[in-house]
Amino acid sequence: MAAGRQKRRLMGEINVVPYIDVMLVLLIIFMVTAPLLTQGIEVELPKVGAEPMDPEQYLDAEALVLSVDQQGRLYLNLVEPETPVSIEVAVERATALLNREPDRPVMVRADARASYGQVARAMRVLQDAGAGQIGMVTDPEELAPPGGR
């Protein structure tokens, strides 16, 4: 053996700093893009002082939302969120989805200016599709200032 030669020892550690940098960049990207991912039509939701729904019920599932605009047109969020659909198409597509995933949350999102009949029709569409429970999407009611009306 040569006297000046030393045996090299391999390093068994992984440098995780580049991975942390990548994760932070991904976190920033997701934080910026998440608000942009909301789909659907613009509706003015009614303001109601109702109790919020239990978020645990909806952790793993995206809700099936049937929206009703001011003119009474129907929109399904999981199909073509900005294209109105007929009652027949809404029933057909919601039925297919609920047959595959019967526990999927089902919601109606109606414009405050839509008539009661239009909202009732949307709920009937979801019942015909097999929805057992139907929730209503609303905005929280603004409380009147103390002493004011």
Mapped onto helix, strand or coil, the DSSP state of residue 74 is: strand
- For residue 76, give the CATH number of its domain: 3.30.420.270
Q: Is residue 16 part of a domain?
A: no
Domain count along the chain: 1
Range of the domain at 81: 47-140
Give the tens place of pLDDT for each residue, 45-69: 566 565 555 555 444 457 888 888 8
The answer to whether residue 30 scores a pLDDT higher than 60 is yes
Q: Is residue 54 part of a domain?
A: yes
Q: Which pair of tokens denotes residue 133?
A: 């429970």
Give the tens place of pLDDT for each residue, 61-96: 578 888 888 888 888 887 666 788 888 988 888 899
Q: Is residue 33 part of a domain?
A: no
CB 79 within 8 A of CB 39: no
Q: Which pair of tokens denotes residue 79?
A: 């199909």
How far apart are the C-alpha atoms of 81 and 66, rounded to whole Å?
Answer: 9
Q: Which pair of tokens denotes residue 31?
A: 């934080």
Q: Is residue 83 part of a domain?
A: yes
How far apart are the C-alpha atoms of 14 and 96, rounded to whole Å?
Answer: 49
Residue whose C-alpha is closest to residue 122's, from 97, 149, 147, 85: 85
Confidence at residue 48, expressed as pLDDT on a 0 to 100 scale: 57
The answer to whether residue 109 scores a pLDDT higher than 70 is yes
Confidence at residue 59, expressed as pLDDT on a 0 to 100 scale: 45
Q: Is residue 35 part of a domain?
A: no
Q: Is residue 107 part of a domain?
A: yes
Q: Is residue 145 part of a domain?
A: no
Q: Is residue 8 part of a domain?
A: no
